[in-house]
Amino acid sequence: MIKAAIYGKGGIGKSTTVSNISAALADRGLRVMQIGCDPKADSTTLLRHGEKLPTVLDTVNQKKDQFELSEVCREGYGGVICVEAGGPVPGFGCAGRGIVTALEKLERKHAYEIYRPDIIFYDVLGDVVCGGFSMPIRKGYAQKVFILTSGENMSIYAASNIAMAVENFRGRGYASLGGLILNRRGVEQEREKVEILAGDFHTSITGELPYSETVQKAEPLKKTVIEAFPDSEMARAYRELADHLFRICQEETGAQNNA
């Protein structure tokens, strides 16, 4: 089973990207699980035609352990298993608590053994990387971390903080940095800026997504580009990225198994 975390600043298009990657791999016949680790709990809505899920945190608060996995794990496009960690009411509690609660509860409920995904994606908000938000990096969760960024200053700043957090966990058997994903926004010298960031952390640009109005056309339909416009150039770009990330994670898993 492959586990990958995709981090990025809020508003950078992270959940849209992760959902399209999940959809692309599901179309390849893989069993995919996507776990949204954002208090807004909207990571998986495009996979479920706009329908939001009950979050793990809300469900645990209401029912303690007396709930079924099917209440918080539901299928979306292509059979993708969709989960939302959730978070507290704004102004109360730590948002990272939702991630910690969700991942621990899924393990205790044997979700991975029951659903048997080939690959799990943790979709993680990267504006703040502390406490619960670093949970998917920790040992036993993701093997690789990918950071989605544009060439915008705030996006690069957030990506730098995420990369630094991954670097600080090096040597503990935690997830390693798999690379940066450039989500183009039309910023001047955009690739050059992201290449500099990659060089600072001895990594590379693992994938690149062009700016495309196809993404904006798919969102009002409450679908991924993969589902709404499967023959588009943007769908092809998502498929290429999905295949590439999957290969990187396979190589990491193979290396760990041989170690």
Supply the residues annotated as catalytic.
9, 14, 40, 127
| Alpha carbons 144 and 83: distance in angstroms, whole number | 20
C-alpha dist (Å) from residue 170 to 6, 122, 140, 180:
17, 19, 14, 17
What's the burial of 56, exposed, middle or buried (CB within 10 Å: 0-12/13-18/19+)? buried
99 and 113 Cβ atoms separated by less than 8 Å: no
Per residue, the 3-state secondary structure of 197-247, as one string, reads HHHHCCCCEEEEECCCHHHHHHHHHCCCHHHHCCCCHHHHHHHHHHHHHHH
Nearest one of 78, 84, 134 to 106, comparing CA atoms:
84
- How far is 124 from 35, CA to CA, in rounded Å? 9
**Residue 81 is encoded by which pair of tokens?**
């298993």
The token pair at 231 is 């023959």
| Closest-CA residue to 180 (of 241, 259, 125) | 241
Pairing of strands 74-75, 81-84: antiparallel
